[in-house]
A and B are shown apart, each in its own frame.
Chain A
Amino acid sequence: MTNLLLEWVIKTIVILLILVTAVAYVTLMERKVMAWIQMRVGPNRVGLGKFRLWGLMQPLADGLKMIFKEDIIPLQANQWLYVLAPALSLIPALMTFIVIPYGSQITLFNYTIELHVTRMNVGLLYVLALTSVGVYGIVLAGWSSNNKYSLMGGLRSSAQMISYELALGLSIVSVLLYTGTLDLVEIVDGQRGFHGLAWNIFHYPLLILVFIIFYIASLAETNRTPFDLPEADSELVAGYHTEYSSMKFVMFQMAEYLNLITASSISTTLFFGGWNGPFVGRLPYLGPVYFTVKVFVLIFMAMWIRYTVPRFRYDQLMRFGWKFLLPASIVNIIISSTVILFMR
């Protein structure tokens, strides 16, 4: 019991550290990719002393800068909720990752370690539950700032997240019909073998449509362009976090990038075989490597979309969510269940 508890604590701390570092470097990646797409160089100055290291120390400099910024709480703001809101959006974002498997088993110092923090028989529902709770941080930030731009951002965000959560949840149902389990570890185990051809997306070709719906809905859930209406800079200044400064602002940014990482990890787990890949059966250490590579490919795709597709208008966003994505995912459920009924 104590051993298991110790293992959990160590794994959680390691995952936490990795996630926080990953978030810092995803921001750098975002700036580099943006620069590359816009034919610029991007941040390349900050290094160690004389060595520039392609700007690899940029996140550290950004972090230091943000820590030393003045922390402002507006006079008219609701103090309690204003302070609570960033935490409410960051904590669910950090909690999601514990159910995602990132490898099979490795042996370290004669001790077998399962490469996932915990497994639940409702793992996928747990992820959905935390995404839906994550809305509160944004909504309360918008309300408590006592600023009309913030409020508009908060309202838009809650409407958007409720609308796209439905499409997200219903598109996952199709995957569940094929895999027959909510446990993410089992979903990945079911995709082993054939050097990648057993991945859900290749094994069940209908899932390509589901993946497209899922990916669009997850972009909307993470408030990324073309769905970044909650913080549409040209109309709402910065949206729900207009009044926030210093580390509270950073917490919102971290939550946003964490959600991007989580959404990409869930896509990887559900559609692209999780940590599966060539030779992973013989060399279990390759599991986390494959997982990371796949996740970062999906993150790159999100950035690619962000800098090439213009933002939707609010009514277009709502129409697209309710009149196209939602019916499309329901039709997918019907087709998938019919196929399964006749195949078995």
Chain B
Amino acid sequence: MAKQRLVVVGNGMAGMKTVEELLKLAPDLYDITVFGAEPWGNYNRILLSPVLAGEKTTDDIMLNDRDWYAKNGITLHAGKEVTAIERRKRIVRADDGTEAPYERLLLATGSDPVVLPIPGSDLPGVITFRDLHDVEAMIEASDRHKNAVVIGGGLLGLEAANGLAKRGMNVTVVHLSDTLMERQLDAYAGEMLHQALEKSGLHFKMPAKTEAVLGKTRVQAVRFADGSEIPADLVVMAVGIRPNVALAQKANLHCQRGIVVADTMQTFDPRIYAVGECVEHRTRTYGLVAPLFDQAKVCANHLAELGHGLYQGSFLATKLKVTGIDLFSAGEFRGAKESDEIVLQDPGNGTYKKLVLKKNRLRGAVLYGDTTDASHYFQLIRDETDVSDIREQLMFEHAHLGDSGHGGKNAAAAMDDTTEVCGCNGVCKGTIVNAILDKKLFTLEDVRTHTKASSSCGSCTGLVEQILATTLGGDYSEAPKTKPICPCTEHSHDDIRKSIREHGLKTIADVMAFVEWHTPDGCHICRPALNYYLLCEWPGEYRDDPRSRFVNERMHANIQKDGTYSVVPRMWGGITNPSELRAIADVADKFDIPAVKVTGGQRIDLLGVKREDLPAVWRDLNGAGLVSGHAYGKALRTVKTCVGSDWCRFGVQDSTAMGIRLEKMCWGTWTPHKVKMAVSGCPRNCAEATIKDFGVVAVAEGWELHIAGNGGVKVRTTDLLCKVTDDEDVLEYCGAFLQLYREEAHYLERTAPWVERVGLSHVRDTVVTDSEKRRALHARFLHAQTFSQTDPWMERASQNVDRIEFEPLAEVASA
């Protein structure tokens, strides 16, 4: 069968992103023809400013050169403008008479810069700032002329002004409003920007209305409404863009401000799709890259005849760097009735932060000088998170930045290229910047895949996002609101859990079939998640799938870098005795175990055990009563205790006994991520209970229960859940809390980010206030525990469970 023909009108970022996505999904479905009005391949429009400023060359910003089109069998008509679409014949025609028939047509005609309708706007020397051609004209002018006037104090205008100034021109920015970038900044931040740019050498005339461009054969001056004039050899109009709908209108496609499309990116003619700046979707038009890319993905999906995925609009933030100044703005930053503003001004430090709250939701933010928390605020605004529990700290968050591994640096702009950003994978800032530019990366996920930066512990995620934003300048792709579990599906963690529960899905295969997984058997990200969700939902019924377990949980030991394993037996509440210690020593001798280490969780780690020795090691440890410590699992790890009132002269409760009781109740449970607990016998808190997932601190009249602490990647002290007087209550609240976490958190989400996401109030309401819910949760926890409290080491050491994991398939003497 002959291939279908896809014609793309517009060779810009939106059109080519759609083609790239389409080629990934269905490489052989179409013969593709691309028309582009500009004479070159597809380039990165975001990086025009650095080309103007002389920091990059034209070649640097090419995304798809002519070879790419040839390699993918795409016919490229560069420099030909499509002037007509004959919808009945399904043919497009270009200005030179070239015709191309189509079964599917994609319009990506972008937008045109607005030219002010004033006298003299057609004089030579008056240009816009939109494409490479404009940039070339500006560079040429800067070589021969002195005075430049940029009309428009928005993002584009300021970038143009900055570039021309760097090329040695005397630049004046003319702006209609008295606030620069007034669509993104409030008056205070606008003024800070104004002053900083003036200091860097730009001149400003604002507020000012341009009345005419003066000159005979070429621009010579600009005149304003107040009668004043300033000399100009070059005038750049950067007053806005307008969707380019001329072609679509001529073809009688429904257009408003832009070409109107549905959530599938189809126009009113279902054979014709449209993406990018030319599009109007749910009455909105977009001029930034992130939404264009979202649209491209959806459009490609439908062109590939997969038929799922809807574009539902984008929530945008502006995170930008104008000449070394970090700026971020999102949402309703101006404030309105019934809204509160939290403001932090530190002029000496060059920082300004404004958060706008309404009904306990963050609605908008403006950050100037320090944009470390931009991603965090963006998420809170987008997700409409209830911030009443964190309102006091909100202004001082550093939520996306861990505490270690990046030398305490938290502002990417100030780092030099050799500074290490990712301490886990040894990635420097320069490496990340180069990868973004060379490999044409746009998203955090892209950067993680290519450089590994922030892909391990994740503590430098905030920094990597900042580098991405500053490198790409204007904008970059934010993670979408409901994030799919992995690329195998477009469904989120919550969607999947809901489907499992409501539709009674009982196996991984059932889930994948029901929600139409895109891959035959998932990947290393989704399979362990599905296995956990099923295990949690159907205790005693779901049969654990070892093939969907990460190696450590399948082997019940921690894999080490040389492929050997480490073995950590449980020491209840940190208490041990001579016979246990003797057994550990004997095992270490007998199996020639090279390293024995005391862990941070009051246990003993045997390191360097060979895979085939594991069952025998466990058999000997079992012999002394030692069982698995689950140090390898997303499970209950340790319950750390101090000696408490048994021995300590300050102890007010028996913390050790409480720790042992908690551990006996909770061991063996599978949880979304690892869980650590501690019990301290007095408020001196020697067991460090306030950095644990569940921490208990004894007070004279009972126990304080603390939750959602973390001592690792990002130190977070716990939130106080409540105080209880009765020992039995400690157990009940603990079980209920763990069960709520098991049932609601996303796989691989620790208690700290989970509680931050759902809010402490939600946990308190469920576990403390509502005693019925608490008891039900606790009961469900205990029920699940009846199926999980069998020592996995004993099963493998004495009952031959999973023997194939430890034995070779065959041994071949010689090759």
- Bind each other: no
Task: Give the B-binding residues of A (Cβ under 8 A).
Answer: none
Task: Give the A-binding residues of B (Cβ under 8 A).
Answer: none
